[in-house]
Structure 1
Amino acid sequence: MADDYYQLLGVPRSADATEIQRAYRKLAREYHPDVNKKAGAEEKFKQISEAYHVLSDPESRAQYDRFGPEFRQYAAAEREYASQAAGGRGGRGGGRTRTRPGPSGFSWSSAQGAAGPGGASVDWGDLFGDVFGSMRGMDNQVELELTVEEAFRGGPRTIVLSGPDGDRQTFDIQIPPGVLDGQRLRIAGGGSAGRQDGGAGDLIVTFRVRPDRRLRLDGKNIEMDLPVSPWEAALGASVSTRVPGGPVTVRVPPGSSSGRRLRLKGQGMPQPGGKPGDLFAKVKVMVPPHLTDRERELFEQLRRESAYDPRSSS
Structure 2
Amino acid sequence: MNDQDHYATLGVPRNADLNAIKKAYRKLAREHHPDMSKAPGAEARFKEVAEAYATLKDPEKRAAYDARDQHPAGEPFSPPPQWGQDHATNGSAFEEMDIEALLAAMGRGRHARHGPQPRNGRDFDTSVRISLEDAHHGRSVHLSLDDGGHERTLEVTVPPGVHDGQKLRLRGQGGKGQHGGADGDIYLHITLAPHRVFRTDHQDLSFDLVLSPWEAALGTQTEVPTLDGPVLLTVPPGTRSGRKLRLRGRGLGNGRRAAGDLYAVVQIDVPATLTGRERELFEALAQDSAFHPRDVPQGAPA
Look up the match of 1:172. 155
Deviation at 1:265, TM superposition (A): 1.1
Deviation at 1:189, TM superposition (A): 3.4
Q: % of aligned pairs identical?
A: 40
- Are positions 1:145 and 2:137 aligned together? no
Look up the match of 2:201. 218
TM-score, normalization by structure 2? 0.53
- Are positions 1:136 and 2:123 aligned together? no
| Alignment gaps of 5+ in structure 2 | 1-115, 297-301
- The CA distance in 1 between the partners of 2:271 and 2:138, in whole Å, is 38
Look up the match of 2:259. 276
TM-score, normalization by structure 1? 0.51
- Are positions 1:248 and 2:231 aligned together? yes
Deviation at 1:183, TM superposition (A): 2.9
- The CA distance in 2 between the partners of 1:272 and 1:199, in whole Å, is 28
- The CA distance in 2 between the partners of 1:168 and 1:312, in whole Å, is 70
- The CA distance in 1 between the partners of 2:245 and 2:151, in whole Å, is 48
Report the more deviating stretch, 284-293 or 248-257: 284-293
| Alignment gaps of 5+ in structure 1 | 1-131
- The CA distance in 2 between the partners of 1:297 and 1:169, in whole Å, is 71
Deviation at 1:264, TM superposition (A): 0.7
Q: 1:246 aligns to what SS in structure 2?
A: coil
Moved beyond 6 Å, runs of 4+: none
Say which one has the larger Rg. Answer: 2
Alignment of 1:282-297 (within 5 A): 282-297=265-280
**Deviation digits for residues 217-243 of structure 1, max 9, x if unmatched?**
212121121111111111111111221
- The CA distance in 2 between the partners of 1:232 and 1:304, in whole Å, is 20
- The CA distance in 2 between the partners of 1:284 and 1:164, in whole Å, is 55
Q: 2:133 aligns to what SS in structure 1?
A: helix
Amino acid at match of 1:281: A
- The CA distance in 2 between the partners of 1:231 and 1:150, in whole Å, is 37
Q: 2:130 aligns to what SS in structure 1?
A: strand
Deviation at 1:134, TM superposition (A): 4.0
- Are positions 1:312 and 2:295 aligned together? yes
Aligned pairs, how many? Answer: 182
**Deviation digits for residues 21-66 of structure 1, max 9, x if unmatched?**
xxxxxxxxxxxxxxxxxxxxxxxxxxxxxxxxxxxxxxxxxxxxxx
Contact 2:147 2:175 in 1 (8 A): no
Contact 1:148 1:216 in 2 (8 A): no
Amino acid at match of 1:146: I
Look up the match of 2:80. none
Contact 2:244 2:263 in 1 (8 A): yes
Contact 1:143 1:207 in 2 (8 A): yes
Q: 1:201 to 1:259 in 2, by over 3 A?
A: same
